Structure 1
């Protein structure tokens, strides 16, 4: 059916190129709903060749999905075939899962130690290669990878490519910076970490044409990078500026303070005194911080503060191994210097900026830090005296007693029960596998095994077990609690849960932010609660007062209330517009010091509450200075809501996802009605204003999102549409307007040096011609017109004379081309401004081959997709009032046009109107086809044809050989001819009282 073919071709073009439709991925294992900030990125970059940019959205805004949607589009269009994705090792699984979700299954290849030889032998055939960034930076892997002609390289957590690091030199400069025409997508939620040169160095990788030796740390440069090199949006932006509704729910941090037992008071007092004494003794003797001993005290502190079980594991291991390592030192099998070097490595990794840093450093060991820390703690037991050994034994004994009446664990269990009664799902996080096992076993005893799952490296290491646990937590209503380590859950998006409980205290705001991001993200439907449990002991209170009330609550409202359990709850409202910043260094006393959890813990153990407070004050001052720099230099984009909305509408044809959904829902209803007329047994109904499809004998299907609506439109169109297209479809619709709609495919093309044209973008564009003139229609307006045409479908024109006069043709084609040129200008304006102004400032070499560029890119008006004629009863009434002389003249003109049409078609035609009850007898000398033609002429655009009783009898008798030629607009400069075969079969017939037969559109 022609009306279905027009719609199908339009939707096919949208699916390939329109930024909204790019997200309606029917083969996706889980539906992807397009959000405006993602659509904006796709729209602003849709003409870029090469595409080289950084997606720097906050945690939870769907950066991975955005990148993969763009990648899938480029893959489907044949732009990229060899794809390299470099990520921290801990994220490899997540990326593979998301690639599978997008339908890349059979193309995914993993670069690992056990696959590299085969991949090299195979020659790295087309596909999507996923690898740990720290594996690829090593030899010989880097040399193998560097030789491949990659079409695109995607790097997640790109802030890890710090200036002057091996990652930067090899992965950044070696694979991306050295290939300026290669596509590259960078991702990072923390692109700027306090060092402008570090940040700019990564922008230089993306744009190698930035000239060296230029100071780019200024507002002019940063402003020009917005929406060109960097895209940065926050949760507040999405809610207030993009969607105008609460996409991201509210989130509150609650620090819950619970009372401590006598054993817990003694345990923490003895622990702090012991560790502080060890650090102070060394510092007084040597005059500097001991790396190995400093790390030992920090890890004992963290493990002992995590859970009594983790404390016992570490302390008992140290006591058991101390004698063995002392012998190794005495026999000089190992040196203290080796311990110091190892301590630096562990401190940088495990106590670094985020909990997953160590997994890349320790590529060969277990994912969890427990093993590394316990092994190192055992080595460092040589620093302990006999008296220290006694203290450790006392601490271990106290930990054992505490485990029998653990205040923190009791509080967590009560909290979990309270949240389960509210119908929530809960994640309990710990850094350590030992603590996860301890909490998991206790919760299983309390709630039963069906209610609790565990996620540690043991589960992650088994693919089937991992998928089973994740699916169980997401889908099983009985499974309500997950107890997980940070590293095992990294990359998991767990929006099904709305509560996070930090079992031990995270000293780093970044770690807290990452945990929040597991649940407070796109798709979360409930307000999020983040609990951290504090015991009423001195060190917990110090951390609560200094780190939580000051550092984490920066600029946010803080309150106190009675908690569900415990003594009190200090809550922090996370709706603040401040974006957490990830610092590399802290300025203190005119000196710069590396910022990490290790730094904070060491400061606390050395100088107590006062020293920790001074350090936090220095961190806050540094963050405030950085925020001021970000604001003053306009480093991240400021978003204007009005301009944003206008850009989206101008560049896509749609206002937002809701409008796309509304149009698709209307289209679905339209094609359902059309399918029913064609015999497809489908019904539909509404439930609470939501469309429901009902197949006979099937389950009702609710249409609740644009993906589902689009899926069923495509299925129905496949049933309705012809497999082969013989000509441009022309349909007539009976409506309350009189207009012609010509639908063209317009494209923006890149012309290479050889003159070959590569399509950057295509779009269906309608030109509506009515009494007011010519008008471009597109997007939602075009689809709504097509809905009207299908709903009021009258008939399909089998043949027609598409013969606009030269002026009209030129105007139509010019309008479509001008639309394409203007679209290119709107999409590319920021990109053109960036290249032009930086070249004028002499900060950038203008000699690049990047597109879009006015010298190499232009709009092209492509093929005609279809013609829709809207006709009304008004025009038919006008025709009936025409005087007989004018009527005769119109009929003669219509006959001449029809005879001429037959002649041009190679058929032999004669006028028989004076002796037969039809007007023209036509015969094709080549095929022998005979046509019995009735001609009806109209002064205006009416498409009604009235037949006498005798004429109707001939039409009935001749059947498929009978043709009705309607020639309309006869009295204009641009008469049109439409030919309908067997009109009795293909048009609606109304019998008039005077027994004439009137063929007219369905009404």
Structure 2
């Protein structure tokens, strides 16, 4: 026996009489009074009469398949949106209804008294019911609201991100989410934005509430950089660095930290690893520079690095692992297979046959190449660059200095070797001096003067706190390595490295001082680079890279003397994040020259304002050059990038550098050629790939005691090994997943114009008035009615909304229309509310089709987690075939002030046939994109329309 209820059902609830156990007489609540006792007015459909009853006389009349809303109270709003009744039950004499809510994917048992029966799209369409006088316009707005929400969910286009995602980055996130599996190796070419792809993926997973606990493991020098970029670009300020922002002394403390960045070399150590393994499981673990996780196979035995063991241990503590590296193969098949085994331990046996079955990479490795990346219109994103090498003519004085310096270096290296372990610091200082000399005469001069002062006891002691700051900086970010090397030259021993060092220093300093007055490298920089650029365009902006602060200060002095003190900005390792941001903002706004050390080699993007770069010195590590160029040569660059490389090939070390880059260039050209044809668009991909594989530091260190010919041989050997590794990698990667325009062809094309069309359209039914439009349609001044003011919680009626991120950042009074905007949130909420209407309408404007039905298709993984959602509008093409997301839908959504079409839509048989055709089309789409890891989750119909003038066509088909 069901207990007599005293709860009052809401208006719209479906009921039967308490004593009607067979539920023969079905009714709906049409009115409620809260008198004492409360009364409920019910209209009985089967009896065709209305009567007043007490709540206890009623029980649930809801049936399976009914569309419902759940109302929190008589005056409350729908708590979970629209739902569908699945079943009923009685628990402890209390009657409940199981409702599935498609938007959230939740299935909830609810008291029937809080449910209101509604008519969903399917029901209304089959019955031919149209909404009110402006139903066509409301249907457009309702459909557009869904389209925009999914567009944002899948691309981040409306999110408050400080980025504009590339199509290939968006596609990668789509592909991974759609796969139903988050275990992937992302192997994009250098410079294509693995950080952005990771941030987009994390943002999408957070939006779906699929992840909470995230562990991101990077090389020590990249922890701070990752933290900065996730905060700056994605607003993810909750990531903390283990060992720097917090420490763990007891395992239970891990519960306090859900988003953690850690150094792989710190976490691999036993003490830290033991604590880490006692943390709560992670929703996802991400390894950057994953090629450092090495495991080699020798026969049937394995030799694993500590880093690999760290990853293997964590594999058991997470369902999902993401590996990031541009060079996962490195010519070592066993190490590459080991990485894949981390992702899919269950496929270990299958991976043993990787060489014979490389197609298995299709569902575990994703790779984009610069040469292949295009926008959605098929245009190549990277427009190319021009590189010009400028050789500095050497003077006799400079040649004399180089000979004297080489003699000094040889003495230093020899002394270091003789002293064994204690002499390693001497060899390090000698190497730094060589790099400083290749950078500028000013940098080596200052270093030599500091060394002499050190020997003469004239150099003031450096405070311990400065040592600590420098050490911390170097450990946090590898970009500051050069500046840290320069700093170390101030901390050398006060004893001579070798007998007679002071005498040699005096001679070197004397020559260097004179060379500063005849710095031909500086003269070439100013007279053959900067001044011609300024002559062509006095407002041109130029980015200048140098590895060392001494060189940067030398260039700053020269530019200030030539162009004034307010034209040049600096970026270097002494500046914190806010100072670097301010320098970049000033450069883009007012200044013309930005002088940067490697601190700006990553993490700053200047393509919007600058396309000319000068490398005042060439780094020993070619990968640094790739990273420097990446500041300008990236998506959004409207001009061809121009790069000037300055060097002095007549000095010994720079002669070796020239050999390295010349040979590297030739290898790149060879690898970027297909048959007899050279593919220029592939050149930069290959250069980055080879640069990341080649190890030249030891070669250059040995060069001081070897002949040029032997050094050239060593460089050739290193390049040959790198080329072989790249070739093997290339063969395998022909089978991996990557950017595919074809894969996205059935997606509706949406852009910012649709956002404007939605916002402008919603202003009409809500009574919002546009007072003014300025800044080339980027800023709208609006006036809100009192009802909207109350709903959004503002006391001001006038506001200015903005559609341009850069413009919004310059003014506090502009409301950027992104997902954090309270007004946009209100517009979406209003358009998607059931009572807004627009579910069905008779419309005009869609040629060649008698009807259109719009839906949301959803897929889930094998654990029931929603992994993919997409918009699907179905209509008939000219041949009478069902078509999904025709281009005409995208155009129709932009046409405002839609008028209702006047014709009869009540032919139920015809409507039901139309619906079945639409259902067949979306089910086919659901099935075609399903895999063993991605299964259909359902269809939610969001609108249905009859198109004027086309109804008769259907009957003849």
Asked if these proteins are the same fold (TM beyond 0.5), I'd say yes
Matched, 1:30 2:162: yes
Match of residue 105 from structure 2: none
Distance in 1, Cα, partners of 2:583 & 2:266: 28
In the TM superposition, what is the alpha-carbon distance from 1:75 to its structure 2 partner? 0.3
Contact 1:429-1:502 within 8 A present in 2 as well: yes
CA deviations over 1:522-555 (Å, ceiling 9, x no partner): 2222222222222363326623651232223434
**For each residue in 1:725-777, what CA deviation from the matched residue of structure 2 results, as whole angstroms up to 9, or x when unmatched?**
3777211114566723233333223454xxxx433223333343699656142
Q: Write the distance in 2 (CA, Å) between the matches of 1:741 and 1:120.
A: 57
Alpha-carbon spacing, 1:365–1:44, altered in 2? closer, same or farther (3 Å): closer
String of CA shifts for 1:136-187, please: whole Å, max 9, x gaps.
Answer: 4456544444313211223333333344676623542232x334x5222232
Structure 1 residue 151 corresponds to structure 2 residue 283: yes
Q: Secondary structure at the match of 2:326?
A: coil
Pairing 1:207-246 to 2, within 5 Å after superposition? 207-211=344-348, 215=352, 218=355, 220-221=357-358, 223-226=359-362, 228-239=363-374, 244-246=378-380
Equivalent in the alignment of 1:665: 753
Partner of 2:938: 860
Residue 497 to residue 46, structure 1, CA distance change in 2 (3 Å) = same
Partner of 1:977: none
Alpha carbons of 1:791 and 1:507: their partners in 2 closer, same or farther (altered >3 Å)? same
Pick closer, same or farther for the CA change 1:457–1:117 going to 2, 3 Å: same
How big is each residue's C-alpha offset from its partner over 1:327-386, in whole Å with a ceiling of 9 and x where there is no partner?
xxxxxxxxxxxxxxxxxxxxxxxxxxxxx9x98984699945444566479657868332
Determine if contact 2:882/2:918 at 8 Å carries over to the other structure.
no
Deviation of 1:95 (Å): 3.2
Note the C-alpha offset of 1:211: 1.9
Q: Which moved more, 1:119-128 or 1:204-213?
A: 119-128
- Among candidates 554, 563, 570, match of residue 438 of structure 1: 554
Distance 1:158 1:488 in 2: 23
1:359–1:367 Cα contact (<8 Å) kept: no
In 1, Cα distance between the equivalents of 2:367 and 2:653?
36
Aligned match of 2:850? 739
* Alignment correspondent of 1:395: 508
Counterparts in 2 of 1:802 and 1:432: CA distance versus 1, 3 Å: farther
Q: Aligned to 1:411, which of 524, 527, 530?
A: 524
Would the alpha carbon gap of residues 557 and 784 (structure 1) be closer, same or farther in structure 2, given more than 3 Å must change? same
Quote the Cα distance in structure 1 between the aligned partners of 2:394 and 2:434.
Answer: 18
* Within-5 A mapping of 1:664-743: 665=753, 668-669=756-757, 672=760, 675=763, 680-682=768-770, 717-718=827-828, 721=831, 723-725=833-835, 729-735=839-845, 739-743=850-854
1:169 matched to 2:340? The reply is no
Q: Is residue 2:566 matched to residue 1:450?
A: yes
* Native 8 Å contact 1:293 1:383 kept in 2: no
Aligned equivalents of 2:618, 2:912: Cα separation in 1: 77
CA distance in 2, matches of 1:749, 1:725: 30
**SS state of the match for residue 843, structure 2?**
strand
Secondary structure at the aligned position of 1:245 is classed as coil
Measure the CA separation in 1 of the matches of 2:491 and 2:818. 60
**What's the counterpart of residue 193 of structure 1?**
330
**Where does structure 2 lack aligned partners over 5 or more consecutive residues?**
1-133, 296-302, 458-469, 672-678, 784-798, 809-815
1:557 and 1:760, CA in 2 relative to 1: closer, same or farther beyond 3 A?
closer
8 Å CA contact retained: 1:81, 1:126: no
1:105 deviates by 4.5
The answer on 1:307 being equivalent to 2:429 is no
- Cα deviations across residues 560-579 of structure 1 (Å, max 9, x unaligned)? xxxxxxxxxxxx97862651
Question: Following the alignment from structure 1 to structure 2, what is the Cα–Cα distance between the partners of residues 364 and 100?
Answer: 16
User: What SS does the aligned partner of 1:860 have?
Assistant: strand
Deviation at 1:442, TM superposition (A): 3.4
Task: Name which of 489, 496, 516 aligns with 2:629.
Answer: 516
- Where does residue 927 of structure 2 map in the other structure? 821
8 Å CA contact retained: 2:184, 2:321: yes
Cα 1:115–1:536 change in 2 (3 A) is: closer
Give the Cα–Cα distance (whole angstroms) in 1 for the partners of residues 594 and 252 of structure 2: 43
SS in 1 for 2:875: strand
- Note if contact 1:741-1:766 (Cα within 8 Å) is conserved in structure 2: yes
**More off after superposition, 421-430 vs 57-66:** 421-430
Match of 1:486 among 590, 593, 598: 598
* Pick aligned residue for 2:195 from 64, 86, 90: 64
Alpha-carbon separation, structure 2, partners of 1:49 and 1:545: 49
Please report how far the alpha carbon of residue 821 of structure 1 lies from its aligned counterpart in structure 2 after TM superposition.
0.8
- Provide the rounded CA distance (Å) in 2 between the counterparts of 1:142 and 1:779: 54
Q: Which residue in 2 is equivalent to 1:623?
A: 722
TM-score by length of 1: 0.66
Q: For 1:627 and 1:738, how far apart are their aligned partners in 2?
A: 52
2-structure distance, mates of 1:704, 1:431: 33
Pairing 1:178–2:316 present: yes
* Alignment match of 1:603 (pick from 685, 702, 707): 702
- Structure 1 residue 128 and structure 2 residue 264: aligned? no
Q: Tell which deviates more after alignment, 364-373 or 195-204.
A: 364-373
1:104, 1:621 → 2: CA distance? 43
Stretch of structure 1 that moved more, 541-550 or 510-519: 541-550
Q: RMSD between aligned alpha carbons?
A: 4.7
3-state SS of paired residue (2:943): strand
Pair 737,191 (structure 1): closer, same or farther in 2 beyond 3 Å: closer
Matched with 1:96 is: 227
2:406 — aligned with what? 272
Structure 1 residues 394, 106: CA separation in 2 closer, same or farther (over 3 Å shift)? closer
SS at structure 2 position matched to 1:42? helix
Q: How many Å apart are 1:488 and its aligned residue?
A: 5.3
Looking at structure 1, the residues matched to 876 and 628 of structure 2 have their Cα atoms a distance apart, in angstroms, of 57
Task: Give the SS at the match of 1:416.
Answer: helix
- 2:173 is matched with which residue: 42, 46, 49? 42
How far off its partner does 1:322 sit?
5.7
Change (3 A) 1:680 1:119: farther
Aligned to 2:732: 634
Return the match for 1:427 from 509, 520, 543: 543
Q: In 1, are the aligned partners of 2:189 and 2:369 still within 8 Å (CA)?
A: yes
Can you list the C-alpha shifts for 1:924-963, whole angstroms capped at 9, x where unaligned? Answer: xxxxxxxxxxxxxxxx69xxxxxxxxxxxxxxxxxxxxxx
- Shift of the 636–408 alpha-carbon distance from structure 1 to 2, 3 Å rule, reads farther
1:649 equivalent to 2:787? Answer no
Matched residue SS, 1:235: coil
Q: What is the rounded CA distance, in whole Å, between the counterparts of 1:722 and 1:51 in structure 2?
A: 31
1:76-115 to structure 2, matched below 5 A, reads 76-101=207-232, 104-105=235-236, 107-115=238-246
Cα displacement (A) at 1:786 = 4.6
TM-score when scaled to structure 2? 0.69
Q: 1:530 to 1:737 in 2, by over 3 A?
A: closer
Q: 1:303 to 1:681 in 2, by over 3 A?
A: same
State the shift of 1:74 in Å. Answer: 0.7
The alpha-carbon distance between structure 1 residues 489 and 744, as it changes in their structure 2 partners (threshold 3 A), is closer
* 1:69 aligned counterpart, secondary structure: helix
Aligned residue in 1 for 2:869? 762
The CA deviation string for residues 199-234 of structure 1, in whole angstroms up to 9 with x for no partner, is: 33322222222327964562523x4314x3222222
Residues 100 and 779 from structure 1, CA distance in 2 versus in 1: closer, same or farther, beyond 3 angstroms? farther
Gaps of 5+ in 1: 325-355, 559-571, 587-594, 833-850, 876-939, 942-968, 975-1003
Match of 1:982 in 2: none
Give the SS at the match of 2:179: coil
Where 2:371 maps in the other structure, the secondary structure is helix
- The answer (yes or no) to whether the contact 2:445–2:512 under 8 Å persists in 1 is yes
Contact 1:743 1:867 (8 Å CA) reproduced: yes
2:70 maps to: none
Shift of 1:33: 4.3
The answer as to whether partners of 1:263 and 1:402 remain within 8 angstroms in 2 is yes
Query: Whole-Å Cα distance in 2 between the matches of residues 232 and 88 of structure 1?
Result: 21
> In 1, Cα distance between the equivalents of 2:415 and 2:499?
15
